[in-house]
Every structure is written in C-alpha cells, then in structure tokens.
Amino acid sequence: MSAWYQFKLLLEHATGISMDALHILVGVGLQVLFAALFKVSLRSWRPWLFVFVLLLLNEASDLWAEQWP
C-alpha cells in the first residue's frame, strides 16, 4: 500500500470519520483555501478545477492501492 493511502486510513481511524466524508470535507477546505490564497471568488472556475485535479489524482491513487477481487 502507498504511504498516502496508509495516511488516509490512519486519519480515518483517528478521527472516526469515514473516508468518503473526509474526501468531501478536505475537498471543500482545499477549495476555500485555494480561493483565499489566490484571492479569487469561490464562484470562479479556478478553485473548482484545482480541487477536481486533486480529486482525480486521489481517486487514481485509491484505485492503485485498493485490491478488489
């Protein structure tokens, strides 16, 4: 398993929040952080694109790490 996936499992068990809920919370937090750092509106497409790219990378990592039968 990748270190990133192990970190996410640790975070899930430490907080008691499911991985799906963590994806939502972190995604919204990153979108707000990106908008604040670059001084753009949350309605702009840039924060959405930033989170979308990270989401795709995260999901690719999940597919690589999880072994389905």
pLDDT average, residue stretch 23-52? 93
- Fill in the DSSP letter of residue 1: -
CA 31 to chain centre: 10
Closest CA to 31 of 12, 44, 17: 44
Does 42 or 2 have the greater pLDDT score? 42
Q: Specify the pLDDT at position 5.
A: 81
Query: pLDDT of 43-52, one tens digit each?
Result: 999 999 999 9
